[in-house]
Amino acid sequence: MKELIIFIVGLVTGGVLVWAVKKKDMDLTGINKKRAEQKEQNKQKVIEFITGRDEVVNDDIEKFLGVSNATAERYLNELEQEGRLKQVGKVGRSVKYKALK
């Protein structure tokens, strides 16, 4: 009888754990999707911002979007890799970005 109770408790506990893990994965998928959508929206805003100017620097994007230095740099690098921006200069303060037409 004891073994049966332990078996049932273990079965129920295992089921609850599986359900919780699946629910967490579903929640994370939704969060990641929202983050990806926000990232794409921000990258589009960067393109629109740069299009009206001769060139911009990382600091301009940080202030415009209200994001960190690393995030602004990541957006600019991704847009450059996608062929939507051109980097002028190699490193540091000499780096500027221009929109490709």
Lowest-pLDDT choice from 1-10, 26-35, 78-87: 26-35
Average pLDDT over every residue of 39-46: 93
> Does the model's pTM come out above 0.75?
no
pLDDT tens string 49-58: 998 888 999 9
CATH of the domain at 41: 1.10.10.10
Number of folded domains that form the chain: 1
Distances (CA, A) of 18 to 24, 25, 56, 61, 88: 10, 11, 50, 43, 52
- Domain range for 53: 2-99
Distance, CA of 93 to CA of 69 (rounded, Å): 13
Distance, CA of 18 to CA of 16 (rounded, Å): 6
Q: Cβ of 53: how many Cβ atoms within 10 Å?
A: 11
Lowest-pLDDT choice from 6-10, 19-23, 77-81, 86-90: 19-23
